Amino acid sequence: MIQVLQKKFVTTAMIAITVLILLLLGAINIANIVSVRNETDRTLHMIAGKNGKMDAARPVPDSAAPGFWMKPPKNDYDTFLSSNFFLVQLDGNGEVIGSDISRTSSVTKEEAEKLAVKAYFNGRANGKEGRFRYLLQDARIGSGKLAVFLDTSGEQFSYLRVMLLSGAVGLACWGMMLIFVVSLSKKAIRPIAESMERQKQFVTNAGHEIKTPLAIIQSNTEAMELYQGENKWSRNIKAQAVRLDGLMKNLLLLARMEEGGAKGSFVDFSYSELLFGIVQEFSQLIETKKIDLELSIQPDINICADKSHMEQMASVLMDNAVKYTNEGGEIGVCLKKNGKQTVLKIQNTCEQLPDVPAEKLFDRFYRADSARTQKNGGYGIGLSVARSIAEANNGTIIAEYIGEDRICFMVIF
């Protein structure tokens, strides 16, 4: 149980940490993209404002002292010198008037003019063509439009570099947090684990202690009946003693399974034959309630599990179906192979579906109708026992509502 709790604690904690790290990495990368694009736009507007003339970008003396932790940002002159760009001027009809490719060596004059004309007829003031981002605005000298194209190869490299670095840092942090969470998980869940262990130990001890007075009550009741004869009070005493005995047996079984002491011995056997025999045991009750039974059991389906556990689980599910099926209702039992999996389905109609999620039915002592459960002799833990048996034998059991009046329990091995 401690290992199960520890696994759930680590899984939950790491999911939260993973989401937090992904949000932080996403925020960092988005901030970097926005910052780089803003810097690119600023550079484009600066070059366009100076018509691409170097003499217009005079260096401004930097009177501020250099920062200790980071370098001050580049001024317009340094940005101008380090930028790789070209300019093309067009008239009002989109015809090229002139071009300047002196600040780039990767584009010919014809290519530059072709890109400018294409950008002009796109009808957008800014955009991207290949590795170039462009700005289209009214020319400061003459008429027409001035198109400025800035090489943004470094922009894409910046995105990739920050993404890789932040991903590496995030992965390293995730690994360190995993080690930290695992190392603290046992200490964090110890109070809960100890409380659960004490509860299970109490159930086990109480169950064994109750066995003796139950046996005395039953034997004394039978002795009393020998002298005074059977009456309604003696019958009630015996019935309630049998009921309490069955309840304690189920509680002890649950406690043993949760402690890992009821794994049983796994053997290969025909579950088809075992299930058919169990269904036959309930045939008298089914006939009494005039229930329509539909069987669909594939022959020769073998499973590797504890045979006594599988018999008890099927009995619990059949008993539950017979008890809560309405008079003249229907019960369906289906056992089949689904690929490598073995699937058992037991479904039944009922007068009214419980007003809670189907999974709630597996809770201990849950009763959709307590008065009806008492009348039918239920303990309120049968389905809990069935789930524990399924899990102890490497299976899964789920419940679902079908339509407005049908409950289905499905076991998968």
- Bigger pLDDT: 240 or 44? 44
Cα–Cα distance measured from residue 321 to residue 348, given in angstroms and rounded to the nearest whole number:
6
Residue type for position 133 = R
User: Which carries the bigger pLDDT value, residue 370 or residue 357?
Assistant: 357
| pLDDT value at residue 200 | 66
Q: Answer yes or no: do 20 and 155 share one domain.
A: yes
21/174 Cα distance (integer angstroms): 8
Mark which of 159, 184, 217 sits at the end of a domain: 159
- pLDDT tens across 261-283, in order? 455 577 888 888 888 888 888 88
pLDDT of 63 > 70? The answer is no
Phi then psi for residue 343, to 5 deg, are -120, 125
Average pLDDT over residues 209-234: 79
Residue 57: band (very low, low, confident or very high) from pLDDT cuts 50, 70, 90: very low
Would you say residue 41 lies in a domain?
yes
- Residues 10-53: tens digit of each pLDDT: 888 899 999 999 999 999 999 988 888 888 888 888 887 777 66
When pLDDT is averaged across residues 130-154 and rounded to a whole number, the result is 82
Confidence bin at 380 (pLDDT 50/70/90) = low
Q: Residue 337 is part of a domain; what is its CATH number?
A: 3.30.565.10
Name the domain boundary from 119, 140, 159: 159
* 279, part of any domain: yes
Residue 361 lies in a domain: yes
Residue 9 counted as domain residue: no
Taking the C-alpha atoms of residue 199 and residue 185, their distance in angstroms, rounded to an integer, is 21
pLDDT at 371 (0 to 100): 42
Decide if pLDDT at 3 tops 80.
no
Residues 271 and 153 reside in one and the same domain: no
**Separation of alpha carbons 207 and 191, rounded Å:** 24
Whether 320 maps to a domain, the answer reads: yes
Which is more confident, 46 or 54?
Answer: 46
The lowest-confidence range among 31-45, 87-101, 250-264, 333-347 is: 250-264
pLDDT band at 70 (very low <50, low <70, confident <90, very high): low
Q: What is the mean pLDDT of residues 223-248?
A: 77
Asked if residue 79 has pLDDT above 70, the reply is yes
Does residue 142 fall inside a structural domain? yes
> Can you give the residue range of the structural domain that contains 297?
267-412
Predicted confidence at residue 250, as pLDDT, reads: 67
Give the mean model confidence (pLDDT) for residues 192-196.
Answer: 69
What is the model's pLDDT at position 176? 92
Answer whether residue 372 shows pLDDT above 60.
Answer: no
pTM value is 0.51
Least confident of 52-61, 260-269, 316-325, 332-341: 52-61
* Number of domains into which the chain is organized: 2
Q: Is 55 a domain residue? A: yes
**Res 151: pLDDT:** 85
More confident residue, 192 or 326: 326
State yes or no: pLDDT of 379 exceeds 70. Answer: no
Q: Using alpha carbons, select from 376, 401, 410, 374 the residue that is nearest to residue 289.
A: 376
Q: CA-CA distance, 220 to 106, in Å (whole number)? A: 106
Lowest-confidence pick of 56-70, 268-282, 323-337: 56-70
Say whether both 146 and 275 belong to one domain.
no
125/356 Cα distance (integer angstroms): 60
Of the candidates 159, 182, 213, which is a domain's last residue? 159
Q: Is the pLDDT of residue 357 over 80?
A: no
* Per-residue pLDDT at 208: 66
Of 123, 391, 361, 131, the closest CA to residue 258 belongs to 391
Would 211 be classed as within a structural domain?
no
What is the model's pLDDT at position 165?
A: 92
pLDDT at 373: 45
Q: What is the mean pLDDT of residues 84-103?
A: 83
Residue 232, pLDDT > 90, answer no
pLDDT of 258 reads 60
**What is the percent of the chain with per-residue pLDDT over 70, rounded to a whole number?**
79
Helix 307-324 and helix 382-392: axis angle, to 10°? 150
**Mean pLDDT over each residue of the chain, to the nearest integer:** 78
What was the pLDDT predicted at 146? 86
pLDDT(85) > 80: yes
Q: Which residues pair with 337 in a beta bridge?
A: 342
**Are 293 and 348 in contact, with CB atoms under 8 Å apart?**
no
Q: Is the pLDDT of residue 201 over 50?
A: yes
